[in-house]
Amino acid sequence: MPKIKKLLVANRGEITLRIMRTAREMGIQTVAVYSEADRLSPHVKFADEAVCLGPPPSSESYLLGDKIIEVCKNLGVDAIHPGYGFLSENADFARKVTEAGIIFVGPSPEAIEVMGSKLAAKQAVAKYDIPLVPGTEEAISDISAAKIKAAEIGYPILIKASAGGGGKGMRIVESSDEFEEQMQRAVSEAQSAFGDGAVFIEKFITSPRHIEIQVLGDQQGNIVYLFERECSIQRRHQKVIEEAPSAVVSEDMRKAMGEAAVGVAKACNYYGAGTVEFIVDENLNFYFLEMNTRLQVEHPVTEMITGKDLVREQILIAEGNKLSFSQEDLQINGHSIEVRVYAEDPSNNFLPDIGKLITYQRPQGPGIRVDDGFEEGMDIPIYYDPMIAKLITHGENRGAAIDRMIRAIDEYQITGIQTTLDFCKFALTHEAFTSGNFDTKFVERYFTPELLKPSISSEEEELLAALAIEFLLSQKGKSSSTASTSTPVTNSSWRNRLK
Ligand code: ADP
Ligand code: ADP
Ligand code: MG
């Protein structure tokens, strides 16, 4: 069995650092690649060796598959981990890596290909009795036939690009009058954004929850599920808060979803770590959405509740080892929550807010994990995903994990840019979240930027009153009418809060 001795991580930032940490624990040498914008990044400093790929844009650096394979040959690298995003779901790249005699830490190119197309994926799972959202099973070629089908399904419906991803390529159609027009737009958008105009329709689930199952499979055909993650708090169809387990999934539902996910994985002879995404309606019926054939951004919450290191498992599987545990060996321990700390301004439609991390101090203490790839003083580059960090907490139960997260958010000191931290605190303390009664509409239903205006605590009120009295007294004692020019408020944390 090949033992991996040197691993190149074809990615950047937090996920690269996270993967390299596990590699180091396993005695594996690490190689970083980087763009000119990331020269001083922690992932580059951490690696045993590092090679610059080119200028900042991904198309001239992190997406240069052939160049990355060249680096592997020059440095005697025997395996590549692609992380998430970039080349991670590129079947051609996985194939080229394998053909070059390098281990691809991920599934087979065939599995990536099938699951990369939402339509091919639905067709592949058809014989496994997996519940699918009612809709068309093939790409739409005949618009009038599709319109009849849409009427059968019932409006609203969703037109989806088969090659879509990252929350893009979806259009809601409210009624039959807009069907043709929306259809034409969807096809041309899919063609220009993904180079593939294939679209299909799905019933639009109006109050859905997004719940996904983590799977792990070895090359011998054993597949297990590592329970669910709930990712319903989203903005722009993209996740911001995730947790495991879900507040609404019962033992029976967990088993049914887990077994369905294993069926999806079997349908494409899956090996490695993968995620099967489901949409859940208000009656807790679940439907298969798609499979992500890579490590997921939110994988840490699963690690916290199962005690398994998913990257270690990925590496062991890539080497050809059998899974060292079975379904019965796995159990859920406590509760874990992740918030994604994005350089975004929640009071301005979550638009990216790029700049310098003037202050950057991480929270610490029991049950807290921070996966990040920045240091104080660094700039957040405009070229990539604006995620600064993932803040993860673990607690005995859901309430404890939430309390711990609120404490951690309060401890996190970031100045210089706006972040999603305050928004996440708002969400975590909202009754809908704490009660577990929420869906993917949380942001549009409950959030307005005014809610983030700083509220004054009683301690701060007392401080203000004391300062006011002091100021008045100082005025009283003055014989002339010129007011004092000294600034009464000097406490820096107080000033920060007034910003
Ligand atoms: P996850 O699916 O792991 O929860 P995201 O949906 O945020 O996380 O996607 C992970 C990363 O992959 C993000 O950086 C996102 O921008 C990127 N991504 C996902 N799908 C695509 C796609 N089809 N094309 C380009 N980037 C994508
Ligand atoms: P992507 O490849 O962009 O991640 P998904 O199919 O996973 O696409 O869908 C992303 C998100 O869009 C889901 O998490 C959910 O919020 C929403 N969504 C997808 N399909 C439906 C549907 N049929 N009805 C309602 N919402 C949907
Ligand atoms: Mg998805």
Q: Which residues of the chain have pLDDT under 70?
A: 454-460, 476-499
Q: What is the pLDDT of residue 236?
A: 87
User: What pTM value is reported for the model?
Assistant: 0.89
Ligand sitting nearest the alpha carbon of 301? 1
Angle (CA) 18-294-79 rounded to 5° is 65
- Looking at ligand 2, which residue's alpha carbon is closest to its atom 22? 204
134-203 maps to CATH 3.30.1490.20:
yes
Angle (CA) 262-267-268 rounded to 5° is 105
- 8 A C-beta contact, residue 199 and residue 190: yes
Q: Model confidence over 413-441: pLDDT tens digits?
A: 999 999 999 999 999 999 999 999 999 99
**Averaged pLDDT of the chain:** 93
CATH number of 209-452: 3.30.470.20
List all residues whose CB is within 6 A of at least one atom of ligand 2: 133, 158, 164-167, 202, 204-205, 208, 210, 234, 237, 277, 279, 289-290, 440
| Crossing angle of the two packed helices 65-75 and 91-99, in degrees rounded to 10 | 30
Question: Does the annotation mark 294 as catalytic?
Answer: yes
Where b means 16+ CB within 10 Å and e means fewer, 271-293 reads: bbbbbbbbbbbeeeebbbbbbbb
Alpha helices in 430-483 (DSSP H): 431-435, 442-446, 458-476
- Looking at ligand 1, which residue's alpha carbon is closest to its atom 23? 165
Task: Please name the helix (run of DSSP H) or strand (run of DSSP E) that holds residue 275, with its range, or none.
Answer: strand 272-280
CATH number of 6-105: 3.40.50.20
Pairing of strands 103-104, 79-81: parallel
| Residues paired with 235 in a beta bridge | 238
- 8 A C-beta contact, residue 175 and residue 191: no
Per DSSP, the three-state class of 336 is strand
- CA of 206 from ligand 2 middle (Å) equals 11
- CA of 290 from ligand 3 middle (Å) equals 6
Q: Is 292 in the pocket of ligand 1 (CB under 6 A)?
A: yes
- Looking at ligand 1, which residue's alpha carbon is closest to its atom 26? 85
